[in-house]
């Protein structure tokens, strides 16, 4: 047997891979309402920008792209941040282009945490952060979230903390940023030297008249941290793999350095499509948000205790004795079990609103039966 580097052995079970395998193994008649894979395609003008660019046979399009990305893409994200979130960014120093925020969240751990230092991760929180911590050889410490999504800072360690990951609107807890939470995070960072990594993947998906709130809109944020933004959710471009890290110039520079060593840039037609998405008409962003909000209304009306202020997920308590396994085996409906998101997720489940209406209706009917004990 070939020796395995400890980096590989440290990796936790990939929650979504094993969940999907369990759901597929249960058979074709299962309705899967657990999986967050956007079901509305990207805007047509974005697809056209990709295709138009790909038709150009020159090396400028099909050769190696500039490693750190086209300047115009970075200007486009800066323009969007200014107009939508009221945040001014320097495209040259404060914006890094990455193939999706999954890559970003791993690379941020690599460029921020020395081996053995701590990274605080929200509990409940997005399981891919665990993989990032493991790859960096850092220590995973749970940052417990109270019921309103606010971190319990007083219970958190303050020594050797390299980074704190936060995520609002939150997956899976589906809460929007509680008021003052970013100020609290900045104070924690100033006192401990930790970097703040805010995952804004669902930034535009907030409901009930809330406005999207960027971490970088708060004074002092860019001195202590960065924000990850993704085209996956706002534009339905999950498969395209496009994301950004914006904010602290030193952290952005480290990401750009890492990218020179392990990525070699992003296909130019994808970058042209990103420009089209970010600078073109934004009506589909609102249509998408409104669609999820309508689905949210249907779901929370049916499931006792269900909650969702943003994201395309609903987080709800499971009644005593109603488990993921029973839902799957007896009721033929799959949700994402809460314990996979951390100890605080035990007894909860996540339902995805990125589910086509017909499947959502059927999944909801099956869940209603299960939760009613029928």
Ligand X SMILES: Cc1ncc(COP(=O)(O)O)c(C=O)c1O
Q: Is the CB of residue 231 less than 8 Å from the CB of residue 203? A: no
Measure the CA–CA gap between 147 and 325, rounded to whole angstroms: 25
Residue 271 binds ligand X, judged by CB under 6 A: no
Q: Is the CB of residue 351 less than 8 Å from the CB of residue 34? A: yes
Q: Token pair of 263, please?
A: 């990525």
Determine which residue in the list 145, 181, 206, 238 makes contact with ligand X, applying CB under 6 A: 238
Residue 201 binds ligand X, judged by CB under 6 A: yes
Measure the CA–CA gap between 35 and 362, rounded to whole angstroms: 15
Residue 102 binds ligand X, judged by CB under 6 A: yes
Determine which residue in the list 53, 130, 131, 171 makes contact with ligand X, applying CB under 6 A: 171
Q: Token pair of 342, please?
A: 């951390």
Residue 309 binds ligand X, judged by CB under 6 A: no
Q: Which is nearer to ligand X, 230 or 248 (CB)?
A: 230
Q: Which is nearer to ligand X, 236 or 371 (CB)?
A: 236
Measure the CA–CA gap between 168 and 372, rounded to whole angstroms: 31
Determine which residue in the list 53, 131, 230, 256 makes contact with ligand X, applying CB under 6 A: 230
User: Which single residue is written with the structure tokens 């959502």?
Assistant: 360
48-56, 96-104, 113-121, 267-275 -> range binding ligand X (CB under 6 A) = 96-104
Residue 126 binds ligand X, judged by CB under 6 A: yes
Minimum CB separation of residue 238 from ligand X in Å reads 5
Instruction: Characterize 284-323 residue by residue with b for buried, 16 or more Cβ atoms within 10 angstroms of its Cβ, and e for exposed.
Output: bbeebbebbbebbeebbebbeebbbbbbbbbbbbbeeebb
Give the closest residue to 208 by CA, choosing from 289, 301, 313, 287: 289
Q: Which is nearer to ligand X, 111 or 201 (CB)?
A: 201
- Through-space distance between the first and last CA atoms of the chain, rounded to whole angstroms: 51
Residue 36 binds ligand X, judged by CB under 6 A: yes
Q: Token pair of 230, please?
A: 């993704």
58-66, 73-81, 94-102, 106-114 -> range binding ligand X (CB under 6 A) = 94-102
x-or-dash string of contact with ligand X, 313-352, rule CB under 6 A: ----------------------------------------
Q: Token pair of 303, please?
A: 């499931």
Q: Using CB under 6 A, list all residues that contact ligand X.
A: 36, 100-102, 126, 167, 171, 199, 201, 230, 232, 238, 243
């Amino acid at each position: 047997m070939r020796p395995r580097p400890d980096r590989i052995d440290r990796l936790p079970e990939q929650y979504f891979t094993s969940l999907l395998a369990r759901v597929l193994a249960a058979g074709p008649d299962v309705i899967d309402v657990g999986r967050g894979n956007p079901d509305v395609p990207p805007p047509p003008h974005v697809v056209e920008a990709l295709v138009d660019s790909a038709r150009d046979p020159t090396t400028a399009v099909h050769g190696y792209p500039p490693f750190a990305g086209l300047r115009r893409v970075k200007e486009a994200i800066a323009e969007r941040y200014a107009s939508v979130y009221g945040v001014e960014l320097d495209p040259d120093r404060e914006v890094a282009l990455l193939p999706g925020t999954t890559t970003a969240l791993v690379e941020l751990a690599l460029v921020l945490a020395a081996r053995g230092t701590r990274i605080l991760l929200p509990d409940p929180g997005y399981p891919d952060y665990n993989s990032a911590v493991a790859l960096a050889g850092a220590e995973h410490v749970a940052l417990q979230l109270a019921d309103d999504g606010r971190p319990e800072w007083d219970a958190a360690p303050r020594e050797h903390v390299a980074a704190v990951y936060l995520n609002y609107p939150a997956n899976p807890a589906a809460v929007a940023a509680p008021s003052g939470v970013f100020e609290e995070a900045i104070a924690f960072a100033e006192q401990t030297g930790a970097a703040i990594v805010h995952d804004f993947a669902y930034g535009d998906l907030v409901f009930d008249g809330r406005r999207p709130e960027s971490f970088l809109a708060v004074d002092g944020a860019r001195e202590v941290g960065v924000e990850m933004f993704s085209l996956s959710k706002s534009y339905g471009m999950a498969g395209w793999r496009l994301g950004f890290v914006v904010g602290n110039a030193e952290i952005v520079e480290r990401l750009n350095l890492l990218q020179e060593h392990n990525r070699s840039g992003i296909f130019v037609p994808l970058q042209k499509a990103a420009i089209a998405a970010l600078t073109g008409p934004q009506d589909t962003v609102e249509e998408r948000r409104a669609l999820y909000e309508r689905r949210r209304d249907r779901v929370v009306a049916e499931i006792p205790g269900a909650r969702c202020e943003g994201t395309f997920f609903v987080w709800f308590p499971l009644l005593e004795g109603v488990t993921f396994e029973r839902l799957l085996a007896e009721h033929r409906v799959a949700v994402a079990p809460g314990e996979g998101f951390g100890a605080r997720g035990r007894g909860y489940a996540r339902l995805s609103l990125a589910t086509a209406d017909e499947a959502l209706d059927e999944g909801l009917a099956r869940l209603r039966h299960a939760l009613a004990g029928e």
